[in-house]
């Protein structure tokens, strides 16, 4: 892993695309991502396409993230602008190196001083539980949602599509701990990967929200990026083709509606912002 410490010009990026449903900004404490999921749409974005180093093999640490946040939020507040943050859209804020680097933690410390209106922490790492103290403090000052990506309940499927990402059982355990601490939680079934019939039951009582998105409608290009990444072929080679179809989000939503009330389930970009 090639790591660099960098001074970022800005830390808040104005929300666009699937995030402009209510989020005002995305926040990426890192560039690059050690989890290197095979389906990751960032692989197809300019930041990676012109990089020259494979996705998963490089990571930039934005060491001035907290300082930038403080200055940028101050400016937004002076203009009376709302601050609804999605952290993170193009990396995972809990990279393995975060254990030592504490960049995300320093951002949360800063947020506890100058809170946004809403913060969604989007991760697939159990390391998020390390910061439960700060997340609990933040919850008293603004809306917070911890959204754990759980694309499937099958470890074999996770191994196939995201071999370097944390295991599903560990993510479930972390989600339970966060929920039990009284923090609003979400399972982000994104992208939908083949799962067992028991998947919704595993999430019952552990999450307050379910968000569903797919490789066909959630890659920012209506499936073209996922195609370029070879996803249809990977599904086909593993006998999973019936899970790679354009309306899979409709079927998954229908199935989850047997276990969760309508107002707890949201689908794709139009509904990316949670009902608070
Ligand atoms: S964790 Fe997110 S950003 Fe990182 S490789 Fe996986 S999908 Fe991409």
Task: State the virtual CA torsion across 49, 51, 57, 61 in degrees, nearest 10.
Answer: -110
The CATH number covering residue 111 comes to 3.20.20.70
H-type helices in 162-246, by residue range?
A: 168-180, 199-203, 224-228, 231-237
pLDDT at 21 over 90: no
Residue 51 CB-half CA count within 13 A: 19
Q: pLDDT per residue over 51-80, tens digit each?
A: 999 999 999 999 999 999 999 999 999 999
pLDDT at 17 over 80: no
Locate tokens 């504490």: which residue?
A: 102
Q: pLDDT per residue over 138-180, tens digit each?
A: 999 999 999 999 999 999 999 999 999 999 999 999 999 999 9
Question: What residue's CA is closest to ligand 1, atom 7?
Answer: 40
Q: Which pLDDT value is given to residue 270? A: 78
- Cβ neighbours of residue 142 under 8 Å, at least 6 residues apart? 111, 115, 116, 117, 118, 119
Q: pLDDT per residue over 127-140, tens digit each?
A: 999 999 999 999 99
Q: Which pLDDT value is given to residue 204? A: 95
Domain that holds residue 102: 2-192
Q: pLDDT per residue over 217-251, tens digit each?
A: 988 889 999 999 999 999 999 999 999 999 999 99
Answer whether residue 149 is part of any domain: yes
66-75 residues labelled b (16+ CB within 10 A) or e (exposed): bbbbeebbee
pLDDT at 262 over 90: yes
Distance 185 CA to ligand 1 centre (A): 19
Ligand 1 site, residue 58, Cβ cutoff 6 A: no
> Is the separation of the CB atoms in 267 and 213 below 8 Å?
yes
Number of domains in the chain: 1
Answer whether residue 8 is part of any domain: yes
Residue 254 CB-half CA count within 13 A: 5
Closest atom of ligand 1 relative to the 55 alpha carbon:
5
Distance 77 CA to ligand 1 centre (A): 31
Strands 118-123 and 84-87, by their bridges, are parallel
């Amino acid at each position: 892993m090639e790591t660099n410490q960098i001074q970022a010009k800005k830390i808040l990026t104005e929300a666009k695309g699937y995030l402009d449903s209510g989020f005002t900004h995305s926040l990426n404490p890192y560039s690059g991502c050690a989890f290197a999921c095979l389906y990751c749409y960032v692989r197809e974005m300019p930041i990676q396409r012109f990089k020259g180093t494979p996705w998963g093999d490089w990571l930039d640490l934005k060491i001035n993230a907290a300082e930038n946040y403080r200055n940028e939020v101050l400016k937004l507040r002076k203009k009376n602008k709302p601050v609804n943050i999605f952290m993170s859209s193009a990396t995972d804020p809990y990279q393995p190196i975060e254990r030592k680097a504490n960049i995300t933690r320093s951002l949360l410390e800063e947020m506890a001083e100058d809170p946004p209106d809403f913060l969604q922490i989007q991760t697939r790492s159990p390391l998020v539980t390390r910061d439960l103290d700060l997340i609990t403090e933040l919850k008293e000052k603004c809306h917070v949602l911890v959204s754990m990506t759980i694309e499937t309940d099958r470890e074999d499927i996770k191994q196939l599509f995201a071999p370097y990402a944390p295991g599903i059982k560990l993510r479930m355990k972390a989600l339970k701990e966060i929920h039990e601490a009284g923090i609003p939680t979400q399972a982000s079934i994104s992208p939908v990967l083949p799962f067992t019939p028991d998947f919704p039951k595993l999430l019952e009582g552990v999450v307050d929200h379910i968000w569903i998105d797919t490789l066909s409608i959630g890659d920012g290009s209506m499936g073209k990026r996922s195609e370029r990444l070879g996803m249809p072929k990977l599904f086909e080679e593993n006998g999973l083709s019936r899970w790679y179809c354009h309306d899979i989000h409709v079927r998954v939503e229908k199935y989850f509606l047997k276990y969760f009330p309508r107002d707890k389930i949201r689908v794709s970009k139009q509904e990316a912002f949670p009902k608070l």
